[in-house]
């Protein structure tokens, strides 16, 4: 199912699902990222300043943090040709989503088509239509997630191609992979999680040697450290974490039991939204997600479930099974956003499940398809 018609259908469906969003205006976050951003309002002339400035969080620049210049630069290009036009901004988001869907299908074809012919198409359709992705497409500010995922897919494809070719083709795809990885990080710092998934792709679906895999690890680490150095060189306001307690109670005084309880509740919320995406909300922050007590049944069930998955990981990885890849992909994609190791503003966000949701949609399809076969 790798015909041009299939790609066209997926692209067209992506556009049809979200084209109604072009009538929307800007939302809350868009105000200080795009709408009232002085660098964006300079158009293309503002791009050098965008790449040498932190990610502005307020319209007057009074508070700024992070470093994700690429989505802001895209906004500047929009402003150059169309002025302040939310319809164009939403149309660009829809276009980026449609392109990423087509690339996602191509990537799944590369790694699964030889064993599961229908799996790439079905998984891509589930990914395309799932309501949990609506926040990323509808919110212009979330373009950083769209761009990061798009360039992550290109990096994954380039990694596979690099392992298959020799000579100039190998070096060419290696260059594409490195460049797309850099653009991925310029889009959103959380893309580091997506880039880490590149190692899983190489390990499970190529015959790469441990030496070459180690070189990839070193290369990715060098890129990440370079990006981290650039980001830290920007003048950013240091925010008192205690002032963010309204976003996440873990920013205030807490115990390790509180961390485990909120992390379990966060993981359960993510899984429940993937299974039944209702009700969706614009905010899952303070007082929206409970902190489970250690004795709470859901707390115990959550860690038993994730513990059992991790118990089976070594065997699945040694066998390089499809199920092992899906499991590793899901765990690596969701655990960093569970409030276990790092606390997130807003506790839970639909956009943080973006990459992990891919593994969730593939989950179970190999068994069902093999049964049909």
What integer pLDDT is reported at residue 372 of this predicted model?
A: 40
**In degrees, to the nearest 5, what angle opens at C-alpha 64 toward C-alphas 59 and 67?**
115
What integer pLDDT is reported at residue 12 of this predicted model?
A: 97
Mean pLDDT computed over 179-208: 89
Is-contact 356 330, C-beta < 8 A?
yes
Residue 193 CB-density burial (10 A; 0-12 exposed, 13-18 middle, 19+ buried): buried
Q: How far apart (Å, rounded) are the C-alpha atoms in residues 339 and 215?
A: 31
Q: Which of 336, 334, 341, 327 is nearest to 355 (CA)?
A: 334
pLDDT digits (tens, 9 = 90+) for 82-132: 999 999 999 999 999 999 999 999 999 998 866 677 888 999 999 999 999
Mean pLDDT computed over 228-257: 75
Q: Give the residue with greater pLDDT, 184 vs 27.
A: 184
Q: Which residues contact 175 (CB under 8 A, 6 or more apart)?
A: none
What integer pLDDT is reported at residue 71 of this predicted model?
A: 94
Q: How far is CA 70 from CA 53, 55, 88, 91, in A?
A: 11, 10, 17, 17
What integer pLDDT is reported at residue 225 of this predicted model?
A: 83
Upstream peptide bond of 81 is cis (omega within 30 degrees of 0)? no
What integer pLDDT is reported at residue 62 of this predicted model?
A: 46
Q: How far is CA 221 from CA 160, 182, 216, 242, 245, in A?
A: 19, 12, 8, 31, 32
Is-contact 369 116, C-beta < 8 A?
yes
pLDDT at 151 over 60: yes
What percent of the chain is modeled with pLDDT above 90? 49
Q: Choose the weakest-confidence range: 134-143, 232-241, 304-313.
A: 232-241
Identify the DSSP state of 277.
Answer: -
How many residues in total does the chain contain? 373
pLDDT, averaged across the chain:
86
Q: Give the residue with greater pLDDT, 142 vs 315.
A: 142
What percent of the chain is modeled with pLDDT above 70? 90
Q: How far apart (Å, rounded) are the C-alpha atoms in residues 161 and 347?
A: 38
CB atoms within 10 A of CB 118: 15
- Measure CA of the first residue to CA of the last residue in the chain; give whole Å: 17
pLDDT at 157 over 70: yes
Residue with tokens 């989503």: 97
What integer pLDDT is reported at residue 242 of this predicted model?
A: 55
Q: Give the residue with greater pLDDT, 90 vs 60.
A: 90
Angle between helices 210-233 and 191-205 (to 10 degrees): 170
Q: How far apart (Å, rounded) are the C-alpha atoms in residues 77 and 58?
A: 20
Confidence of residue 3 (pLDDT cuts 50, 70, 90): confident
pLDDT digits (tens, 9 = 90+) for 258-316: 999 999 999 999 999 999 998 998 889 888 999 999 999 999 999 998 888 777 777 77
pLDDT at 60 over 50: no
Specify the pTM.
0.91
Q: How far apart (Å, rounded) are the C-alpha atoms in residues 207 and 217?
A: 16
Confidence of residue 43 (pLDDT cuts 50, 70, 90): very high
Confidence of residue 233 (pLDDT cuts 50, 70, 90): confident
What residues form DSSP beta bridges with 64? Answer: 56
- One DSSP character per residue, 13-82 reads HHHHHHGGGGG----HHHIIIIIT-TTGGGGGGGHHHHHTS--B-STTSSSB----HHHHHHHHHHHHHH
pLDDT digits (tens, 9 = 90+) for 195-220: 888 998 999 888 888 888 888 888 88
What integer pLDDT is reported at residue 237 of this predicted model?
A: 56
What integer pLDDT is reported at residue 364 of this predicted model?
A: 59
- One DSSP character per residue, 235-299 reads --PPP-GGGGTTT-GGGSS--HHHHHHHHHHHHHHHHHHHHS--S--S---TTTS----TT-HHH
């Amino acid at each position: 199912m790798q015909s041009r018609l299939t790609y066209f259908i997926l692209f067209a469906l992506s556009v049809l699902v979200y084209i109604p969003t072009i009538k929307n205006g800007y939302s809350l976050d868009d105000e200080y990222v795009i709408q009232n951003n002085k660098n964006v309002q300079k158009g293309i002339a503002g791009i050098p300043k965008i790449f040498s400035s932190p990610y502005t969080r307020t319209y007057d620049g009074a508070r700024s943090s992070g470093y994700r210049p690429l989505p802001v630069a895209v906004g500047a290009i929009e402003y150059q040709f169309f002025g302040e036009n939310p319809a164009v901004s939403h149309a660009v988001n829809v276009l980026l989503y449609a392109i990423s869907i087509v690339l996602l299908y191509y990537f799944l074809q590369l790694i699964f088509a030889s064993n599961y012919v229908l799996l790439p198409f079905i998984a891509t359709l589930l990914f395309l239509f799932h309501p949990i992705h609506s926040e990323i497409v509808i919110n212009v500010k979330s373009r950083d997630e769209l761009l990061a995922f798009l360039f992550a897919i290109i990096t994954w494809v380039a990694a596979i191609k690099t392992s298959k070719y020799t000579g100039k083709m190998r070096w060419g795809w290696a260059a594409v992979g490195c460049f797309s990885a850099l653009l991925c990080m310029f889009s959103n710092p959380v893309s580091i999680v997506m880039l880490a998934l590149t190692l899983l792709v190489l390990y499970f679906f190529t015959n790469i040697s441990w030496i070459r895999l180690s070189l990839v690890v070193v290369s990715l680490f060098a890129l990440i450290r370079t990006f981290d150095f650039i980001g830290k060189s920007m003048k950013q306001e240091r925010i008192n974490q205690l002032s963010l307690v309204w976003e996440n109670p873990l920013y205030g005084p807490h115990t390790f039991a509180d961390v485990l309880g909120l992390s379990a509740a966060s993981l359960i919320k993510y899984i429940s939204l993937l299974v039944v995406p209702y009700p969706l909300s614009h905010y899952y922050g303070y007082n929206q997600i409970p902190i489970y007590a250690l004795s709470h049944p859901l707390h115990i069930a959550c860690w038993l479930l994730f513990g059992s998955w991790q118990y089976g990981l070594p065997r699945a990885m040694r066998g390089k099974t499809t199920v092992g890849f899906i499991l590793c992909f899901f765990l690596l994609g969701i655990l960093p956003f569970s409030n276990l190791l790092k606390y997130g503003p807003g506790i839970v966000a639909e956009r943080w499940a973006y990459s992990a949701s891919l593994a969730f949609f593939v989950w179970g399809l190999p068994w069902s398809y093999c049964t049909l076969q």
